[in-house]
Amino acid sequence: MKRALFPGSFDPLTLGHYDIIRRGVKLFDEIVVSIGINADKKYMFSLEERKTFVEKAFKNEPKVKVTTYQGLTVDYCKEIDAKFILRGLRNPADFEFEKAIAHTNRKLSKIETVFLLTAAKTSYISSSIVRDVIRNNGDYTVLVPDSVRVK
């Protein structure tokens, strides 16, 4: 089975994330979307809310599983027998950052990272931009899947 891990904080899930996952299911037998837990980071949405956003967005896609994890991503890949890490790239800065992580992961565990370019229509969207729009009472709904709704 070709299983890929798509790790992130998903604070919140964006249309960019959604696009990468939808396209990734065509490449892999299963995608495990996993929310990394970092106690030192301050999130806008709780872990349970972020997990629910992803689960609702992919409730009709049996090839997508949603989990959480702590620690090194490569260790979690071993734990769930994922041979690939899936990542999205929006711009050259993303590539440089992700390339360094991919090289490190491959050195630590021989895991391959697969990069997908974001669709042009979502390439400007980031979770930090969405959080900024939410904080300032803007229309964030055009940047996220329907499963992401702020109370």
- Residues tagged active-site: 17, 41, 90, 127
CA-wise closest residue to 66 among 47, 83, 45: 47
Structure-derived torsion over alpha carbons of residues 5, 68, 126, 26, reported in degrees to the nearest 10: 30
**Which residues sit opposite 35 in a β-bridge?**
8, 68
Beta carbons of 5 and 34 less than 8 angstroms apart: yes
Rounded Cα–Cα distance for residues 55 and 127 (Å): 17
